[in-house]
């Protein structure tokens, strides 16, 4: 068990291939990003994978696509990453 300090506010989390994928926002709840938190080994690493053009809330992965909610448009958004 361990604690990982985050620099951004997490608004969603899912686990894919032994890593945590987080939808995060800044202190003003804008500037949404998808980040990968690697926890393998003794040190944790955070990598920003993409920015969102909207304010995300939550994140899920169905084995092929990621899903999040666009809070201001009342919409659900799916997307893929080049790393998959």
Q: Is residue 22 part of a domain?
A: yes
Q: Does 3 map to a domain? A: no
Q: Are 23 and 57 in contact (CB under 8 A)?
A: yes
Residue 72 lies in a domain: yes
Least confident of 15-19, 38-42, 57-61, 65-69: 38-42
CB 76 within 8 Å of CB 62: no
Quote the CA–CA distance of 68 and 7 in Å, as a whole number. 21
Tens digit of each residue's pLDDT (9 = 90 or more) over 5-52:
999 999 999 999 989 999 999 999 989 999 999 988 888 899 999 999
CB burial of residue 32 (10 Å; 0-12, 13-18, 19+): buried
pTM of the model: 0.90
Residue 22's domain spans which residues? 9-79
Mean per-residue pLDDT, 47-66: 96
Please report whether residue 2 resides in a domain: no
Rounded CA gap, 74 and 81, in Å?
23
Q: Total structural domains in the chain?
A: 1
Domain annotation covers residue 84: no
């Amino acid at each position: 068990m361990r604690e990982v300090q985050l620099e951004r506010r997490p608004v969603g989390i899912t686990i894919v291939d032994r890593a945590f994928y987080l939808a995060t926002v800044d202190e003003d709840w804008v500037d949404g990003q998808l980040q990968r938190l690697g926890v393998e080994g003794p040190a944790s690493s955070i990598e920003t994978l993409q920015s969102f053009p909207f304010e995300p809330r939550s994140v899920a992965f169905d084995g092929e696509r990621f899903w999040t909610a666009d809070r201001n448009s009342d919409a659900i958004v799916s997307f893929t990453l080049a790393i998959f």
